Structure 1
Amino acid sequence: MHLHLRPARPADTGVIAAVARESWHAAYGDFLSTVTIDETVDAWYDPVDLREQVEEGAFVVAVDEERPESDDIVAFAHAVVASDGTRPTLTRLYARESYWGSGVGTQLLHRVVADLDTDAGHEFLSALVFANNAVGRGFYESHGFEVVGRRTEAFDGNDHEELILRAPLDTLAE
């Protein structure tokens, strides 16, 4: 496997949404319904909105150059600094299930941290993960993220606990 990381482009939005959908079903299918996952991905990865988001913060995709399809995106990550300039946040990090454990998530995490426009006052990167997403929790824990809070998010009429995580930016740089 030979992965190439590059900035996301507006033309990538359809593939980014497909990767998100596949990853959501694999990671959240045990506790969110198929309908809820599909409706959420449709809303959160709306092509018009996603094209705008590609231009915000650090949005990076991983392309597996050994796959027969040209420019086949297999994972992506997006990080932004809050609009008030106070808080760098990893908003998305998803990979096709067949790439879990391959190191692509680590590569993307390091790259978005390096690409994110932070300043000396920014010490931590924040992230959210479902409490019952063992794969996601394990990934973040292995990269030094610690739980600093909890919140409840409603999906399809059911409450789901999310963990608020943060890690020192200087430990996440390439």
Structure 2
Amino acid sequence: MKIEPLDTREAIRDAIRAHGHAWQEAYDDFLPEDVLDGMTTDPTAEDVDAWLDRLPEEGGVTLGATVDGTARGYVLVRWTNTKPFVRPGEAGLKEIHVHPDWWGDGIGTALFEHACEHIPDDVAGIALEVFADNDVGRRFYESKGFAVSDSGTVDVAGDTYETVIYRRDLDSGAL
């Protein structure tokens, strides 16, 4: 496995595929079928352009995990332009997705660890928001030392879903 910046069109195309398939698998029990069916798994050039526009040029890092020449997952962490639940002195783990065919192979862990290495020294913690019903994601974050600190809601396609806010210190031992 190779972890590197997600900066080529082909790697971004693969990451979009991983993102779509991960949503369809992880959120199948609680998001509506039409939302899941609308997730892009065969990205167009326009989809890739839209992703390129939202990736941070500074104040964040986006890394992809490549196996056998194909990006199998990605992580996006920001320490500027973060969501409101991210406190001063924290980075926000905005997204981490791995294609479900590769779950359990250490790709998510490797992505998280590498992303943390890019976070500036003056950032002491990391926070994230996850669907409350996302059992796969919650187990992953808890295994990485994250603890529940708050709750919230997020709107998806006109419906409101409960979320959980997780936090952890970056110097709290092994990642």
Structure 1 stretches of 5 or more lacking a match? 66-70
**Could you say what the CA RMSD is over the residues aligned between the two structures, in angstroms?**
2.3
* TM-score (normalizing by structure 2): 0.83
User: Could you say which residue in structure 2 is the equivalent of 1:17?
Assistant: 16
Structure 2 stretches of 5 or more lacking a match? 83-87
Query: What secondary structure does 2:172 align onto?
Result: helix
- In 2, distance between residues paired with 1:157 and 1:115? 35
% of aligned pairs identical? 26
Encode CA deviations 1:51-76: one digit per residue, 9 max, x unaligned.
130634111111112xxxxx211111
Cα offset, 1:83, TM superposition: 3.0
- In 2, distance between residues paired with 1:58 and 1:102? 22
User: Could you say which residue in structure 2 is the equivalent of 1:119?
Assistant: 121
Cα offset, 1:46, TM superposition: 4.1
- In 2, distance between residues paired with 1:40 and 1:54? 22
How do 1:148-167 residues align onto structure 2 when only pairs under 5 Å count?
Answer: 148-167=149-168
**What amino acid sits opposite 2:95 in the alignment?**
R
User: Could you say which residue in structure 1 is the equivalent of 2:78?
Assistant: 80
Aligned length: 163
Encode CA deviations 1:111-149: one digit per residue, 9 max, x unaligned.
001023x233x2110111111111100000011101111
User: Could you say which residue in structure 2 is the equivalent of 1:143?
Assistant: 144
Kindly tell me: are residues 13 and 54 of structure 1, through their superposed partners in 2, closer, same or farther at Cα, counting changes over 3 Å? Answer: farther
How do 1:1-174 residues align onto structure 2 when only pairs under 5 Å count?
Answer: 3-11=1-9, 12-39=11-38, 46-52=47-53, 53=55, 55-56=57-58, 57-65=60-68, 71-83=69-81, 86-116=89-119, 118-120=120-122, 122-171=123-172
Cα offset, 1:173, TM superposition: 6.5
Structure with a larger share of its residues in helix: 1
Query: What secondary structure does 2:167 align onto?
Result: strand
Cα offset, 1:13, TM superposition: 2.0
* TM-score (normalizing by structure 1): 0.83
User: Could you say which residue in structure 2 is the equivalent of 1:68?
Assistant: none
- In 2, distance between residues paired with 1:59 and 1:114? 12
